[in-house]
């Protein structure tokens, strides 16, 4: 059970950004992805989720052997893929509660019921409110989030750290098999980083999740221990190693990897 990326090439507005990415994320394994600004890390995460702006010009993306490329973003989510975005978008008019209710219901297949089964029952494409509410309350308590957030519009006016916490809350409800966390550590204070990391670790254990943790900093990797570390430069992975690679990068930056690229 894994996410497999083979020779992936992606262009954005005619410009090639990903230039042959090869990566396997196994369930239960933690992969860290580090690399300079603008190297294409977020492009990779958006491509995996099926953002229409990112055009795949070559390569394959497989989840459990099934091709993701033909799937819509919500089908990908139903197949167990989750992306915590680097810059979560604000959606005015949609409360955090209704967003989470809709997203959780969709991923758990409530929207797929036959019209006959749902006829005459308002909101029957949604998970039963009481059941959802109970689970939501547990997860929010776990994430130490104030329930008052539920009535706020999605990410609107959320602080940087609050947005990241809301993303992990969403992940806890969607229970993905593979999660891509794009700079989930950015903007978190020290206590929040610990809390969010513990949340991720607990979920990983419970769900046997495969993780791709995109980060610039060692600090989150002190909590979420990577099994494999990949260095991403200029649209592809140029080096793969174990956790010790993080120390080397911290000390020497990316120049030494670039020099070895030829």
Ligand X SMILES: Nc1ncnc2c1ncn2[C@@H]1O[C@H](COP(=O)(O)OP(=O)(O)OP(=O)(O)O)[C@@H](O)[C@H]1O
**Binding residues for ligand X, per CB under 6 A?**
12-13, 17, 35, 37-43, 53, 86
Check binding of 43 to Mg ion (CB under 5 A): no
In the range 188-217, which residues lie near Mg ion by CB under 5 A? none
Helix, coil or strand: residue 232: strand
Q: How far is the CB of 42 from Mg ion (least distance, A)?
A: 3
Measured distance CA(168)–CA(199) in Å, rounded: 8
Minimum Å distance from CB 112 to ligand X?
A: 32
In the complex, least distance from residue 122 CB atom to Mg ion, rounded to whole angstroms: 41
Lookup result for tokens 């992606």:
10
- How many chain residues interact with Mg ion (CB under 5 A)? 3
- Asked if 236 contacts 20 with a C-beta cutoff of 8 angstroms, the reply is yes
Interactions with Mg ion, residue window 78-97 (CB under 5 A): 86
The nearer residue to ligand X, 198 or 234, going by C-beta atoms, is 234
What residues pair up with 24 in beta bridges, in sequence order? 4
Shortest spacing between CB 40 and ligand X, in angstroms: 4
- Residue with the CB atom nearest Mg ion in the bound state: 42
The neighbouring-strand residues paired with 54 are 12
Closest to 78 (Cα-Cα) out of 99, 55, 57, 103: 103
Locate 107 and state its tokens. Answer: 């991923």
DSSP single-letter state for residue 235 = T
Neighbours of 226 (CB within 10 A): 23
Contact stretch for Mg ion (CB under 5 A) within 40-48, 58-66, 116-124, 205-213? 40-48
- Binding at 114: pick from Mg ion, ligand X, none (beta carbon under 5-8 Å per type): none
Binding window for Mg ion (CB under 5 A); candidates: 12-20, 41-49, 205-213, 235-243: 41-49
Which of 42, 47, 155, 186 is in the footprint of Mg ion by CB under 5 A? 42
| Distance of closest approach, residue 13 Cβ to ligand X, in angstroms | 5
The DSSP symbol for 147 reads G
Q: Please, what is the minimum distance in Å from the beta carbon of residue 182 to ligand X?
A: 7
Judged by CB, which is closer to ligand X: 94, or 233?
233
Distances (CA, A) of 199 to 137, 145, 167, 187: 15, 12, 11, 17
Helix 129-142 × helix 96-107 angle, to 10°: 110
Contacts to Mg ion by CB under 5 A: 41-42, 86
């Amino acid at each position: 059970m894994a996410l497999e990326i083979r020779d992936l090439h992606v262009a954005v507005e005619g410009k090639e950004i990903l230039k042959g990415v090869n990566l396997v994320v196994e369930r239960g394994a933690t992969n860290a992805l580090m690399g300079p600004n603008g190297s294409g890390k977020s492009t990779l995460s958006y491509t995996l989720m099926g953002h229409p702006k990112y055009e795949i010009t070559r390569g394959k993306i497989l989840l459990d052997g099934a091709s993701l490329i033909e799937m819509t973003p919500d089908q990908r989510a139903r197949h167990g893929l989750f992306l915590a975005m680097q810059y979560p978008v604000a959606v005015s008019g949609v409360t955090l509660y209704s967003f989470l209710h809709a997203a959780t219901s969709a991923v758990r297949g409530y929207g797929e019921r036959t019209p006959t089964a749902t006829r005459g029952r308002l909101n029957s494409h949604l998970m039963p409110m009481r059941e959802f509410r109970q689970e939501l309350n547990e997860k929010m308590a776990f994430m130490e989030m104030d329930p008052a957030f539920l009535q706020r519009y999605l990410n609107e006016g959320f602080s940087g750290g609050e947005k990241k916490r809301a993303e992990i809350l969403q992940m806890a409800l969607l229970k993905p098999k593979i999660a891509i966390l794009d700079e989930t550590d950015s903007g978190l204070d020290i206590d929040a980083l610990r809390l969010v990391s513990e949340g991720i670790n607990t979920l990983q254990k419970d769900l046997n999740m495969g993780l791709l943790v995109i980060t610039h900093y060692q600090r989150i990797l002190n909590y979420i221990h990577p099994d494999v570390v990949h260095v991403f430069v200029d649209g592809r992975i140029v080096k793969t190693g174990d956790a010790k690679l993080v120390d080397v990068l911290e000390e020497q930056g990316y120049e030494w990897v670039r020099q070895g690229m030829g």
